[in-house]
Amino acid sequence: MGEYFDPQISIAIDLLRYSNKIVAFTGAGISTASGIDDFRSPGGLWTQFNPLKYANYSVFLKTPKYYWQLEKALIPKFENAKPNKAHKALVSLEKKGKLKAIITQNIDNFHQDAGSKVPIVELHGNMNHAYCMDCYTPIKRNYILKWLKRKSGIPICPKCGGRIKTNIVLFNEPIAEDLLEEATKYAEDCEIMLVLGSSLTVFPANQIPLLARKAGAKLIFINKDPTFMDKYATLRMLGNLETYLPMIINSI
């Protein structure tokens, strides 16, 4: 384990070894090693684009060009990004028969790309999915990418010329009730919840680990930085997920 040794690693290994009902709760921190910046950290996306302007649902409905400017700026970051060792470690945990679901705040589709087959509850949507707000036609991601790369202005529906919206949940846009219910179901039925790379500042997603704890689950936090919810953790480790998580899971 070398420089990454943390005395709590051995405890985490034992806890996971003897549990077969584990749920992962993932945030932006699990994807930073893939080249996707943590939105809220210093130098992150929200220091470059004010989310209340560029990622706000109310603003999007009136002036969608700001959101599409943000989408265009993100193309270089997401286009060649791939799942990293932390995403793949969760696939390994699944193959051991221990991981029952993933609840994620991320929109990057990396869990699916890594090979996860367990149910994945995407609380904040998925950037690969879009639809027309006027005729409800599903829109492929490739269509949007080609438009943003080759044309000016905002993308329009190829069928009716209507407004396109990605499946990303914007600020001031409610999370679908069925997603919250599904996440709650997995949280209340797990024995251990792995909280991975989340600052736990976004409501209502940040309530999911608390629901798991209230139902009797142990919480294992692995984050780069402390969170204000660390006091609820059974174990807390600070470090790089792409190092810590494979180390733990490979030792089970």
Would you name the residues annotated as active-site residues? 124
Q: DSSP alpha helices (H): ranges in the chain?
A: 7-17, 45-48, 51-54, 57-62, 65-79, 85-95, 110-114, 141-150, 177-189, 208-214, 241-249
Tokens of 57: 């649902």
Is the Cα dihedral 23, 45, 148, 84 positive or negative?
negative
50's CB contacts (< 8 A; 6+ apart) are none
- Do 204 and 180 contact (CB within 8 A), yes or no? yes
How many Cβ atoms from other residues are within 10 Å of residue 63's Cβ? Answer: 12
Tokens of 72: 């265009």
Quickly list DSSP for 18-53.
T-S-EEEEE-GGGSGGGT---SSSTTSHHHHS-HHH
Tokens of 155: 């993308």
What letters, b where the CB count within 10 A reaches 16 and e where it falls short, cover 188-211?
Answer: eebbbbbbbbbbbebeebbbbbeb
Tokens of 124: 């904040």
